[in-house]
């Protein structure tokens, strides 16, 4: 995919659940090789937006395009997703969990070994997923998200959750490496200081509306302001 083509294009998305308006006129684009930080308080609409991009939720109005077409299961090999909402199969070990997903994606075992090493789970292959630490579970979700070598869009929900300082440093480098390889990485996170060290672009939701979209440089006024200060200035304290 060329750098001038949008990996994600959302135009005028609206979504309500009953009488509760969750997304209102949400429009933005994300391009190849960029790390996009999706920010907002709890209840801002981040999860609903992510699910809309994945084809899990259908907007009431507006249009969303992912990798040049509609979102949905046809993108399974091209969109990698690591979210807490995606649980593990009951009773599986690390190796078994990855093998199940690899089979569904048509991926060989050599790819599993490569990713186990990449995410730092070597030696834990026989460990049951339920016995893993929070940080190890995050690493396993990330490995699962990258099983397909065709991934062009990587969606990470709170990827630093449960990681120790070494793990946080690792995830930062990992995300930047993915972008350097040409992938678009959409990161939803509450850890503003870590986001500031990682992203290229900022997408800020408040009350289901986008209140800022643009580069991190613009958002922080060329680094003169911290991302945290600007977050509260724009979203309100």
How much is the pLDDT for 109? 85
Residue 60 DSSP class = S
User: How many helices (DSSP H) and strands (DSSP E) are in the chain?
Assistant: 8, 9
Could you report how far apart the first and last alpha carbons of the chain are, in Å?
Answer: 40
Architecture of domain 8-78+150-235: 3-Layer(aba) Sandwich (3.40)
Using DSSP, state whether 208 is helix, strand or coil: coil
> Can you give the C-alpha Rg of the chain in angstroms?
18
Amino acid 58: pLDDT: 95
CA neighbor of 187 nearest in space, from 195, 177, 178, 179: 195
The predicted structure's pLDDT at residue 108: 87
Whole-number pLDDT of residue 235: 86
104, containing H or E segment = helix 94-105
pLDDT at 4: 60
Q: What is the pTM of this model?
A: 0.93
List the strands of the sheet with 61-66, edge to edge. 20-30, 8-17, 61-66
**What's the pLDDT at 20?**
95
Residue stretches of the chain with pLDDT short of 50: 1
Residue 96 contacts residue 126 (beta carbons within 8 Å): no
Quick one: pLDDT at residue 3?
54
Domain boundaries, the chain: 8-78+150-235
Give the whole-angstrom CA distance, residue 220 versus residue 223.
5
């Amino acid at each position: 995919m060329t750098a001038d083509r949008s990996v994600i294009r959302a135009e005028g998305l609206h979504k309500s659940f009953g009488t509760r308006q969750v997304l209102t006129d949400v429009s933005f684009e994300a391009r190849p090789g960029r790390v996009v930080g999706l920010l907002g308080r709890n209840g801002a609409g981040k999860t609903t937006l992510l699910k809309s991009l994945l084809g899990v939720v259908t907007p009431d109005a507006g249009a969303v395009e992912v990798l040049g077409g509609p979102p949905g299961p046809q993108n399974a090999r091209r969109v990698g997703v690591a979210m807490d909402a995606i649980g593990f199969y009951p009773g599986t070990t690390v190796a078994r969990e990855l093998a199940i997903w690899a089979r569904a994606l048509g991926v060989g075992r050599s790819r599993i070994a490569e990713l186990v090493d990449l995410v730092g789970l070597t030696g834990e292959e026989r460990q049951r997923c339920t016995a893993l630490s929070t940080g190890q579970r995050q690493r396993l979700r990330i490995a699962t998200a990258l099983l397909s070598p065709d991934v062009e869009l990587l969606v990470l929900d709170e990827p630093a959750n449960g990681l120790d300082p070494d793990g946080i440093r690792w995830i930062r480098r990992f995300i930047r490496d993915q972008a350097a390889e040409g992938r678009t990485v959409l990161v939803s996170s509450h850890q503003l200081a870590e986001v500031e060290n990682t992203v290229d672009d900022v997408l800020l939701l408040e009350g289901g509306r986008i209140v800022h979209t643009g580069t991190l440089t613009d958002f922080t006024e060329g680094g003169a302001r911290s991302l945290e200060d600007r977050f509260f200035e724009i979203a309100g304290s």
